[in-house]
Amino acid sequence: EYDQAQQAFDDINDRVLENIQGIRVVRAFAMEAEEEASFAGRSERLYRQNMRVARLDALFMPASRLIQGISYVIALTYGARLISSGGITIGQLMAHVFYLGMLSWPMIAMGEFINVAQQATASMDRIQEIWDWREEITDPPEALLCDRVGDITFDHFSFSWPGRTEPVLKDLSFTVGQGMTLGIAGRVGSGKTALLKQLLRVYPQESDSGANNEDSLPAPADRLRINNLPIRLFDRRCLRRQIGYVPQESILFSLSVRDNILMGAASGKGSWPLLPGDHEEETAFWKQPYKDIVRQVEAWEKEVPPPPSVSEETLSRVIRIADFEKDVEDLPQGLDTMTGEQGIALSGGQKQRISIARALLADPEVLILDDCLSAVDAITEKNVLSALTRERRGKTTLVSSHRLSAIRDADLILVLEDGKITARGSHDQLMLEGGWYAEQYELQQMEEECLA
């Protein structure tokens, strides 16, 4: 009952959060009445579940008192018979009743404790499920530190999303040399994002699943290499420090613009994923006496985290590259303006450029831009891409975009279709070959000319 009440509370909580975040959509489609009815139904379910819990709680005390009263009645009735037959004295009966009263109150307290413990267990089971969760991929015991990424090689590489058997990337083979710019184009769902995420090692690959190898293909571990070594040999945290990533959907936190950008500052020591020694240290921490745990936590809370070691010059530089300078001037409090929950106080283009500035702050060797300029106009896009080309000379950049003007200057352009490479080459080569890329580029150019 307690677990079901918790689930009902989670259900209504999630629904309310979705409605608040998507309130404009709800109003745009005039769905207020439907959402009110949905909320009323979830509220009724939550009410029923909590009433069941309340009935169980209300039943406990009368039941325990009834059992206590019955035990007194039995003791007095049977004791009276023993007294009449001369088996015991009145003093012995009174002593028995007195001891019975002393025993009943601890039993009631124990029952109350069990009742509260059941509620806590229902909540703890949900927390324990998160604590016990283990990542699907792990680093090898002696993982290599990644000082530089160098060349990136995909050699007959395939990939399937976790839990699915149908590959979303199929037999991809290409090399991105150090300092090159790779452009990735294709229709929606062709596998552009899936391809870019492989360098971040956030999903299990063939080498992690122990997939069988065909004699004519490289071993699964060798199908994605950096510096001519399998990527799975490297420590993921160390590898990710060499990469700046800007996703399709810009994620901002409820902080100021400055703090959101500073989150991209290079850190000396990563804290995730946890190492085996970290798990042992955590276990030892929770085995301490409660007072020691409280005292240590209070000490941690009083510690002031050191500010990121980023100069104002570096901060201004990444803002300039992201073409965000004019926007900063227009913000009410400049860089100290609060972005709101998930950046609700900013436009889509502003959020994307803040994400770009954040990714550039650590000056990564590899920069991944996953269709992250879709919400800006053509002029702003041109300014950002020109600044990136100028400032990141000699460093590797991977760009995917539906707007082909964003990748026309790339050293190598891949055209994906259903997870396969259907065309590759420079912009001029692909235009001469014709096909989807040339048709799409000409169509987009015509649209821009009409809008101009």
Could you give the CA distance from residue 258 to residue 238 in angstroms, rounded to a whole number? 25
Chain centroid to CA 264? 16
pLDDT bracket for residue 52 (50, 70, 90)? confident
Could you give the CA distance from residue 274 to residue 135 in angstroms, rounded to a whole number? 10
Percent of the chain with pLDDT over 90: 32
Average pLDDT of 96-124?
Answer: 78
Quote the pLDDT of residue 308.
66
Which of 13, 250, 257, 279 shows the shortest CA–CA distance to 133? 279
| pLDDT, tens digit, 9 for 90 and up, residues 295-311 | 888 888 877 666 667 88
Quote the pLDDT of residue 395.
92
Quote the pLDDT of residue 350.
92
Residue 397 is encoded by which pair of tokens? 């950049």
pLDDT bracket for residue 205 (50, 70, 90)? confident
Residue 31 is encoded by which pair of tokens? 């769905």
pLDDT bracket for residue 100 (50, 70, 90)? confident
Quote the pLDDT of residue 211.
53
Q: At which residue do the structure tokens 């005390």 appear? A: 61
Quote the pLDDT of residue 128.
80
Q: Say whether pLDDT at 19 is over 80.
A: yes
User: CA Rg, the chain, in Å?
Assistant: 32
Helical residues (DSSP H) of 311-395, grouped into ranges = 312-321, 325-330, 348-360, 378-391
Orientation angle between helical segments 378-391 and 348-360, nearest 10 degrees:
0
Helix and strand element counts for the chain (H, E): 16, 10
User: Domains in the chain, start-ordered, CATH in brackets?
Assistant: 2-131 (1.20.1560.10), 146-242+365-452 (3.40.50.300), 251-363 (no CATH)
| pLDDT, tens digit, 9 for 90 and up, residues 336-357 | 999 887 788 888 899 999 999 9
Percent of the chain with pLDDT over 70: 92
Q: Say whether pLDDT at 212 is over 90.
A: no
Q: Say whether pLDDT at 271 is over 60.
A: no
Residue 404 is encoded by which pair of tokens? 């082909």
pTM of the full structure? 0.76
- Tell me the pLDDT of the chain averaged across its residues: 85
Q: Say whether pLDDT at 32 is over 80.
A: yes
- Range from 87-91, 213-217, 228-232 carrying the lowest mean pLDDT: 213-217
Quote the pLDDT of residue 429.
94
* Beta-ladder partners of 176: 152
361 by DSSP, 3-state: which?
coil
Quote the pLDDT of residue 266.
63
Q: At which residue do the structure tokens 């352009």 appear? A: 413
Quote the pLDDT of residue 204.
84
Cis amide prior to 273 (ω within 30 degrees): yes
* Beta-ladder partners of 415: 185, 423
Reading phi first (left if > 0) and then psi (alpha if -120 to 50, else beta), residue 342 is in left
pLDDT bracket for residue 289 (50, 70, 90)? confident
Could you give the CA distance from residue 58 to residue 260 in angstroms, rounded to a whole number? 49
Q: Say whether pLDDT at 147 is over 80.
A: yes
